[in-house]
Amino acid sequence: MTRYSSPRNDGGIVFGFVILGIGVLLLLKKIGIFIPTWVLTWPMILIAIGLFTLIKHEFKSLFGAFILFLGTYFLLKNEFHLAFSLDRYIFPVGLIVLGLYLITKKKKEQDLIRNIKADWQKSRKSKVDQPIGGDTNESDSSSSTSSFSSSTASGAASNMGGTSFSDTLNIDAILSGVNKRILSKNLKGGKLTAAFGGIDLDLTQADIQGPITIQVDVIFGGMKILVPPHWDIRTEVSNIAAGIEDKRIYRDTAIDPEKVVILKGTVLFGGLEIKSF
């Protein structure tokens, strides 16, 4: 059975400190201690969420960096009246950064697939060169290589939507929508990010071999996850100005204690919906 291991950075503890800090500031203000007004503004909330997400992902989260940038920009502009005159540039620059991110990510995936395929073909060739069963092995090798090429192309294309056999989720819906069905029988978890977009994820044909964790980050977007009725879904998601709805249909089907999905992450100005068939 796959063992569940906690991430190195405990997001719940970090978020707890954020809430604790806000509470302390409010208390100090109520008892008459001077607190700058900008400390309790909405851009500071974005900054706190951005830092929280970056710390949780060891400063490797595009989502956290984006939220931190937005919070810092609007704080400096609205509260400190710093005239950056960047409003008209934010959207096109954001698209450029997003495009570079997607191109780089896709290139890394293609390089990885190419290396795996080359190693596999090298291994098969070494077996074909053996004297036993020469023609038969060569025929099998050609057939297997063709099959491998087809499955590799299918796996590469699955990132764009549709059906995927991947054991690890890595779906980004940024200024777009993704509708994906997972068919893996050994799903190991992964990451879902929806920023100004939406994700529809169908896990009804998938299977898991023990507890898994799925990281969920939503900002100004929506996410719907369809799961089998016998899975145990545990939601540990922080929601701010957002809604989390569990619309699963509870039937007589017993919950399987081995099928545990832990949802962790942040939902900001968006929605997360969990359903079953």
Q: Domain ends where: 116, 143, 158? A: 158
Q: Distances from the Cα of 58 to the Cαs of 11, 61, 174, 190, 214, in angstroms?
A: 11, 8, 21, 16, 17
Residues 211, 197, single domain; the answer is yes
Please check whether residues 173 and 247 belong to one and the same domain.
yes
Q: What is the pLDDT of residue 3?
A: 45
Question: Does position 261 have pLDDT exceeding 90, yes or no?
Answer: yes
Q: For the chain, give the percent of residues with pLDDT over 70.
A: 70
Rounded to two decimals, the pTM is 0.50
- Residue 1 is assigned to a structural domain of this protein: no
| The pLDDT value given to residue 104 | 67
Question: Which pLDDT score is estimated for 14?
Answer: 60
- Greater pLDDT, 211 or 242: 211
| Last residue of one domain, picked from the residues 56, 85, 114 | 85
Q: 52-99: per-residue pLDDT in tens? A: 778 777 777 777 787 788 888 888 877 777 766 666 776 677 677 667
Instruction: Give the highest mean pLDDT range of 3-7, 58-62, 106-110, 257-261.
Output: 257-261
Arithmetic mean of pLDDT, 240-259: 80
Mark 92-127 as b/e (b = at least 16 C-beta within 10 Å).
Answer: eebeeebeeeeeeeeeeeeeeeeeeeeeeeeebeee
Q: Do 181 and 254 fall into the same domain? A: yes
Q: Is pLDDT at 169 greater than 90 in this prediction?
A: yes
* 177 and 133 within one domain: no
Per-residue pLDDT tens digits for 93-119: 767 766 776 676 666 666 666 776 677
Residues 217 and 172 in one domain: yes
Judge if 45 and 137 occupy the same domain: no
Total domains, the chain: 3
Q: What is the pLDDT of residue 146?
A: 44
81 domain-assigned: yes
**What mean pLDDT is reported for the chain?**
76
What is the phi-psi region of residue 53: left when phi exceeds 0, alpha when psi lies from -120 to 50, beta otherwise?
Answer: alpha
What is the span of the domain harbouring residue 149? 101-158
Same-domain status, 245 and 197:
yes
175 and 144 belong to one structural domain: no
Statement: residue 50 has pLDDT above 70: yes
Please indicate, yes or no, if residue 56 is contained in any of the structural domains: yes
**70 domain residue, yes or no:** yes
